Amino acid sequence: MFKDNNIKIVEVSAINEWWKGCVIYQIYCRSFYDSNNDGIGDLRGIINKLDYVKSIGVDAIWLTPFFESPMLDMGYDVKDHKAIDLLFGDMNDFDELIVKAHKLKIKVIIDLVLSHTSDQHEWFIESSSSKNNSKSDWYVWADAQEDGSAPNNWLSLFGGGAWQWSESRNQYYLHNFLTTQPDLNFHCPDVQIEQLDVIDFWSKRGVDGFRLDTVNFYFHDQLLRNNPLFANDSQPLTVPKINPYGMQDHLYDKSQPESLDFFEKIRNQLDKYEGLMTLGELGEDGIKSFKLMEQYTSSNKYLNMCYGFDLLGGQLSASKIKNYIETISVYSSGAWFCNSYSNHDVERHLSRWQYNESYKSQFTIMALNLLLCLKGSVCLYQGEEIGLLQSEISFEDLRDPYGIQFWPDFFGRDGCRTPMPWKNSHKYYGFSDFKPWLPVQADHGKLSVNLQKNNDNSTLSQYKYWINKRKLNPSLQRGDLTLKKSNNNLVVFERNLKDVSSLCIFNLSDSKNIYGQLNEYVYDELLGQEYTLQKDSLELGPYGFAILKSTIKD
């Protein structure tokens, strides 16, 4: 493995495009650290643990929603975009968090849910009260068909149809998620104005960027045309097969061309401030996701970067990564990606992927470095750095409405949202002194931060080491990527930026593989694991990798 007692954290350049090639650490606020012992993580808990986050070497944190909410979808059902829910603290806590993060040179990205609101939001209460009010067209309302059925065949991602009947208006309203999450009508200019004002409100409070939830759901087809079925049996990677949502080709309920005009307005709004960025979540995978990525991020007019779900689902293999790189080159060559393996919506990757358990440590670090070497920025999900696995949650403990709807064929998202383990000797592993909102997993105690932080060979120490090594290599942060030919188990590519290049070689199998095309490749640094260097070839052991850095010197 490795031993390095002199790890030095290097700061990312303080430039307007700080986000380009940065490493983001996603904090699921409810489960990070509970400072007031009510069983729910909070803003002050994050403040208390910022020094830990800093020690990992990341450049930014992404905070999941902390706005006032009835919490039916754990904060993604917003009641007031400009108020902090008492569960998480207050505005003074938020301001203090910003100050401390910036003192530590950590950027702060907040999660904005703009496509929909809670049905308890004052906007929806007024809009649903009648057909004639000042906000009557702020949400997507439509008349029933002649037989009283829903306006079309659109489906909710959380199960059932995407239309809910409102007696007060004698109409249906659209909800792409829960019935308690009505979709805003972005074809209404006043809605756009209000949401731009929300962005401005938080910009003035000192945030550095916005993760835009379901960014391709803002606009719908105004003709309300039916979605066609998929022409084949393939479903999106992150939609469980039990969910009929994955059977439709969602041509009309999302990803509409009008989105670009609104993104341009967002960009113009953020350009009033220095260094603010946008990270859009694309609710797509496959070719459509890559095409949208190009549209949304390839110019200086719209979003800065996006992420899809192609690496957040399925298995990790050499063929998958090669296809990912090749597809980007065809459909998204001008886009800027944010790559990640795990987040709060999908099964943790070390539980999702199949690999040889005898080489788990090698596999974990190989996969991390593959992520760090791909072109784009990087997002790590809390707990990933200590090797957390998916938790098993019983039905009576489930809080996720998605999981409750499709149980037992789909267990929902709670398994990746359980509390962070800080101390192995504590009843709730140091997360709280009170029973947490989700149960702690018994075997997570052995992965606690306190057991790993002083162990040079722990997963946590290795994450720190390799993240910092990437920061010392500008070609891995911003360089172009060229895929090289290799055998079926290897992924080989070169990253180039001005006078620095890196040849990156990864063995994604549990058997030895040789890359024999070095051809006296000139390099001044060689890093990796499980490799043997020969004259013009590298022998890589199970899940081995090597990064050969070359610098042109004057």
* Marked catalytic residue, from 213, 284, 285, 385: 213
Annotated catalytic residue, options 96, 294, 510, 539: 294
CA dihedral defined by 455, 457, 460, 461, rounded to 10 degrees? 80
Is 197 tagged catalytic? no
In angstroms, the CA 281 to CA 348 distance is: 18
List, in sequence order, every residue forming a beta bridge with 108; answer none if it has no partner.
61
- Helix, strand or coil, per DSSP, at residue 475: helix
User: Is 213 an active-site residue?
Assistant: yes
- Burial label, 278 (beta-carbon count in 10 A; 0-12, 13-18, 19+): buried
The rounded distance, in Å, linking the Cα atoms of 354 and 356 is: 7
Lookup: tokens for 331:
């459909």
Cβ pair 278, 270 in contact under 8 A: yes
Q: What is the DSSP string of 120-177?
A: TSHHHHHHTT-SSSTTTTSB-EEPPPTTS--SS--B-TTSSBSEEEETTTTEEEE-SS
66: nearest Cα among 93, 48, 39, 35: 93
Pairing state between β 23-27 and 60-63 = parallel
Instruction: Pull the structure tokens for residue 350.
Output: 């070390």
Cβ 543 vs Cβ 362: under 8 Å: yes
Q: Name the residues annotated as catalytic.
A: 213, 294
